[in-house]
């Protein structure tokens, strides 16, 4: 940790011949004062804002990407650019605790990922970047709590599925006002779909992205949504991807349409998509892709209060089946053997009061066949019955398991049952499917309930189902989780009114979720 030099000492150093180190950069933290050695770069280097992510008790990842021409490849020269960063205990940077210089590399789209360590646990910090005399906006972040404490509380927002073309990301404006300690984003950060004039906003480009430059442009467009940019600058995110960061419903190295994309072409697409994903997310170097592979499943600890297991339910899964019979095939896997073992180990050995699983896709059963018999969605955990059921059996011996997921574009809040085939089986956990930020746009609620309410009899584990856009907010302490379904009245306009649609509680030691 670097302290702030006193004003006297700073003046002394600045007057000296060899101005180096922290004191020197403190002198230069003003916009418009590019050093002679710095090449002049276009204005608007920080068009994509700043963000932070994957907080640890002593650190956090700080992110930015230099992109003066964000929708056209970025607009940077093909050379390394030094980017200074600093972290302070106060918003005015009077008490800087850490600073340094990172290199923005052309090979990574001039993105910067600073893995700051040496910070104090459970407290907020402010950070900013500077390159070629240009200063970024200030971001705020928060470290994870002390590793040994289970006291205090944690406020987590659960978000997913933000389709630019379906609406403005208005739920983030309300999320910002709710001031969460952490935003958990469980997939569909971008959509790869072709530009269309049917919705309130239009994707950039001329088609689906396939190349690295095309994916970069798509991420850049999303990153410039003002509500999303504000949220990123206000709290750390923990992110994982689902299908639309690459291609609808892909599985492993199999695209949605194997007839339209050869295996080689799809591997090249995965490679480009993962690289652009890394370049635009506040994640550690462990997530730097290796060709068409990326390491995204990981664990984050929030003291002894909460262990967060972030899954990757895309890269290692078997291809989706197409029949009820096939969905029960015991050879199907959602996680792949290594990730499955990693998850079980992390659940069995956990010292945490709450064991949260961030799953892209829904775990509780969705039976969409009214009356006798069942019909499942095969892309969700229902399509991977044997592995899902084995995991649910395991939940019996896990302390307070809670699954947070997305993908469905509905709020679906459920008890998790040990065996969904047996209506009398035990409740072993709770699941929150956190609707969508904008995907599906403003839905007709009456039509939704006309279609879905009759299915409640087939799915008695459902506690809340709803089709508003929004997110879920969780206040977590040792005794329980208070959950709110926060919804907006519209995503078709840039401003919206938010409200609480439902309040729920998960009691520690009592599996399942109750409506309040
Ligand atoms: Fe989605
Ligand atoms: Ca049924």
| Distance, C-alpha 405 to centroid of its chain | 11
Instruction: Give the model's pLDDT for residue 32.
Output: 61
Q: What does the pLDDT average to over 143-170?
A: 96
Token reading at 187: 């997939």
Token reading at 46: 């920080």
DSSP per residue, 209-269: --SHHHHHHHHHHHHT-HHHHHHHHHS-EEE---STTTSTT-BTTB-S-TTTS-HHHHHHH
- Counting ligands in written order, the one closest to the CA of 372 is 2
- With cut-offs at 50, 70 and 90, classify the pLDDT of residue 31: low
361: CA distance to ligand 1 center in Å?
Answer: 10
Instruction: Give the model's pLDDT for residue 23.
Output: 42
- Counting ligands in written order, the one closest to the CA of 367 is 2
- Counting ligands in written order, the one closest to the CA of 369 is 2
User: Rounded distance, CA 445 to CA 297, Å?
Assistant: 35
- Counting ligands in written order, the one closest to the CA of 457 is 2
What is the per-residue pLDDT across 274-316, written as a single tens digit (0 to 9) for each?
999 999 999 999 999 999 999 999 999 999 999 999 999 999 9
420: CA distance to ligand 2 center in Å?
Answer: 12
Q: What does the pLDDT average to over 52-68?
A: 98
What is the per-residue pLDDT across 67-111, written as a single tens digit (0 to 9) for each?
999 999 999 999 999 999 999 999 999 999 999 999 999 999 999
pTM (predicted TM-score): 0.94
DSSP per residue, 100-154: EEEEEPGGGTTEEEEEE-SPPTT-EEEEEEEETTEEPPPEEEEPPPPTT---S-E
Token reading at 93: 């940077």
459: CA distance to ligand 2 center in Å?
Answer: 8
Instruction: Give the model's pLDDT for residue 30.
Output: 61
User: Rounded distance, CA 228 to CA 232, Å?
Assistant: 6
503: CA distance to ligand 2 center in Å?
Answer: 28
- Counting ligands in written order, the one closest to the CA of 435 is 1
- Counting ligands in written order, the one closest to the CA of 420 is 2
- Counting ligands in written order, the one closest to the CA of 459 is 2
In eight-state DSSP terms, residue 31 is T
199: CA distance to ligand 1 center in Å?
Answer: 16
Q: What does the pLDDT average to over 188-217?
A: 97
Instruction: Give the model's pLDDT for residue 150.
Output: 85
368: CA distance to ligand 2 center in Å?
Answer: 6
| pLDDT of 139 higher than 70 | yes
Phi, psi of 402 (to 5 degrees): -135, 130
What is the per-residue pLDDT across 316-332, written as a single tens digit (0 to 9) for each?
999 999 999 999 999 99
Single out the residue of 86, 85, 84 nearest to residue 94, CA to CA: 86
């Amino acid at each position: 940790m670097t302290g702030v030099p006193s004003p006297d000492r700073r003046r002394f150093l600045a007057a000296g011949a060899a101005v180096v180190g922290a004191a020197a950069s403190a002198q230069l933290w003003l916009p418009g004062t590019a050093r002679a050695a710095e090449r002049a770069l276009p204005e608007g280097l920080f068009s994509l804002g700043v963000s932070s992510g994957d907080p640890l008790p002593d650190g956090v990842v700080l992110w930015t990407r230099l992109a003066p021409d964000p929708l056209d490849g970025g607009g940077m020269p093909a050379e390394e650019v030094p980017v200074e960063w600093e972290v302070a205990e106060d918003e005015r940077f009077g008490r800087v605790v850490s600073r340094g210089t990172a290199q923005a590399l052309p090979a990574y789209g001039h993105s910067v990922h600073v893995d700051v360590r040496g910070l104090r646990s459970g407290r907020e910090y402010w950070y900013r970047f500077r390159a070629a005399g240009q200063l970024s906006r200030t971001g705020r972040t928060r470290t994870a709590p002390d590793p040994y404490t289970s006291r205090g509380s944690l406020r987590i927002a659960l978000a997913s599925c933000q389709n630019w073309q379906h609406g403005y990301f208005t739920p983030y404006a309300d999320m910002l006002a709710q001031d969460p300690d952490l935003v958990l984003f469980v997939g569909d950060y971008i959509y790869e779909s072709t530009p269309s004039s049917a919705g309130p906003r239009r994707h950039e480009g001329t088609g689906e992205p396939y190349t690295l430059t095309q994916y970069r442009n798509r991420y850049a467009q999303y990153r410039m949504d003002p509500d999303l940019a504000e949220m990123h600058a206000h709290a750390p995110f923990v992110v994982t991807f689902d299908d639309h960061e690459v291609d609808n419903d892909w599985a492993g190295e199999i695209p949605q349409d194997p007839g339209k994309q050869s295996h080689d072409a799809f591997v090249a697409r995965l490679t480009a998509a993962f690289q652009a994903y890394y370049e635009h997310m506040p994640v550690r170097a462990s997530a730097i892709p290796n060709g068409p592979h990326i390491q995204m499943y990981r664990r984050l600890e929030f003291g002894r209060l909460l262990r967060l297991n972030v899954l990757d339910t895309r890269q290692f899964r078997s291809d989706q089946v197409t029949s009820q019979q096939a969905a029960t095939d015991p050879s199907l896997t959602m996680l792949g053997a290594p990730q499955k073992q990693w998850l079980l180990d992390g659940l069995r050995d956990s010292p945490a009061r709450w064991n949260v699983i961030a799953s892209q896709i829904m775990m509780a059963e969705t039976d969409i066949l009214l009356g006798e018999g069942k019909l499942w969605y095969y892309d969700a955990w229902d399509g991977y019955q044997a592995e899902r059921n084995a995991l649910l059996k395991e939940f019996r011996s896990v302390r307070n398991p809670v699954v947070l997921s997305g993908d469905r574009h509905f709020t679906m809040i459920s008890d998790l049952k040990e065996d969904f085939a047996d209506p009398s089986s035990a409740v072993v956990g709770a699941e929150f499917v956190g609707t969508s930020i904008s995907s599906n746009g403003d839905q007709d609620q009456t039509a939704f309930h006309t279609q879905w309410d009759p299915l409640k009899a087939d799915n008695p584990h459902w506690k809340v189902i709803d089709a508003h856009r929004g997110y879920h907010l969780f206040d977590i302490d040792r005794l329980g989780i208070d959950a709110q379904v926060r919804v907006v009245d519209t995503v078709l306009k840039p401003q919206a009114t938010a409200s609480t649609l439902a309040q729920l509680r998960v009691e520690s030691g009592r599996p399942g979720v109750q409506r309040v």
